[in-house]
Structure 1
């Protein structure tokens, strides 16, 4: 029993930094800075799959960031959810800032149309993101609630790991945003509706085919997608196939994704332009 307990403590509270191996630290100051100390940037996979929303990533998937993500996901070092959530929150802020600028532009246009005597066909106060009305319930006009929707892992992977990494990091990110005064909530409404093959070794086109139609919004989740701007969140983007399928599933339920944020993306994705 003592040996089992020591092994469990070693997994949850490792004595070495998950990023660089420095002793007596779950995550040392240098690795924390490497993970959380930079502003998120827009990233594009190569090739860019059709239907991919604007994606923002905090760091490149290399070195300390790669080690920390793998330690959290595969070794169950749950104490790393906090710093990973802080990194994800940086991407969420970047995506939300763009979304809010678009909403302000829409409000200005509506005010102009109102001054010209044009009324909304619905006659009620809504915000529009990409042409879809989004309510402001749970937030304010100046601080609308951000709806963070995690991209789910395969059920077998969650069972094997004993936790859902993306959902745990999303919850940490929402907490980070709320502490900074930004309204945010995690709505884990996506689920797998059919089994998918292991993505390891699959190319970009194969991943899209593998995931096509694999996700759905759980019953009753549709109304949660209207509580504010919907932002997809995940720990890692490689080809963008998972995000594309998540966008399709949300759209099938009547929602619209305003953007996406991830902790990390391949280094080459930071240097690719959308044009």
Structure 2
């Protein structure tokens, strides 16, 4: 019956699995079953100074990469659910226990949102929030961050160029902060994105939030880009040494924001 349903979907809608190209569902049961479910620390090399502990489900490759690209670039919106579940696992690993959580999506350039026809990161974070609330975790998703004009597309930029491109590019508009800051609970702030590469976006988001008094407990993403050894060597030769492996110690404080 499942095979017939999938064949009918392919015939009527032209649907195929992002992972294996099997006709039917946008994510077949077999590919969904093998998605990573164990979040891990995802420190970039080199690590931006002061970066909050980053977590991801796996490398930005294979099926995980195909799903993220399908959701972001090809508007396969049905993928928001399974990807949001993965992001919720990263959030749970980043902030264990039952502390209230404030999920802050990394903002996208307005031109990119217009071209894609949707805000992929915001949609992904909303799905993660629903998944966490389904587990009775007190959580809110608040798009606190805004991006200033003049920021370039990060694709093709190396670590130094990404950092320079994003320096003081994000800010928290007062009206957004006012909507979020209802002092009814001590919450943990987590910056969320689809992929962490050099950590420049996450670090800039963290800086902007901390500038208005919101300490960031962690960074949560679906995937992490594994940088090539030659990229790391070039960056290290320019003066940045890859950071040593660090273990996450859950000692970040909360902040008074309503959940």
TM-score band, normalised by shorter chain: 0.7 to 0.9
What residue is the counterpart of 1:88 in the other structure?
87
What residue is the counterpart of 1:195 in the other structure?
150
Secondary structure of 1:229's counterpart equals strand
TM-score, normalising length: structure 1: 0.74
Separation (CA, whole Å) in 1 of partners of 2:148 and 2:156:
23
Provide the aligned C-alpha RMSD in A.
2.1
In structure 1, the gaps of 5 or more residues are: 1-8, 101-142
CA contact (8 A) 1:14 1:25 kept: no
Change (3 A) 1:75 1:169: same
What residue is the counterpart of 2:26 in the other structure?
26
Separation (CA, whole Å) in 2 of partners of 1:264 and 1:20:
19
Secondary structure of 1:23's counterpart equals coil
How do residues 193-272 of structure 1 correspond to structure 2 at under 5 angstroms? 193-223=148-178, 224=180, 228-267=187-226
Answer with 1 or 2: which has the greater Rg.
Answer: 1
What residue is the counterpart of 1:147 in the other structure?
102
Shift of 1:55: 0.6
In structure 2, the gaps of 5 or more residues are: 1-8, 229-243, 248-259
TM-score, normalising length: structure 2: 0.79
Q: Which moved more, 1:158-167 or 1:196-205?
A: 196-205
Separation (CA, whole Å) in 2 of partners of 1:246 and 1:168:
18
Secondary structure of 1:236's counterpart equals strand
CA contact (8 A) 2:102 2:140 kept: yes
Count, aligned residues = 218
Would you identify which runs of 4 or more consecutive aligned residues in structure 1 move more than 6 Å? none
What residue is the counterpart of 1:50 in the other structure?
49
* Cα displacement string for residues 168-193 of structure 1 (whole angstroms, at most 9, x for unaligned residues): 00000000001111111100110102
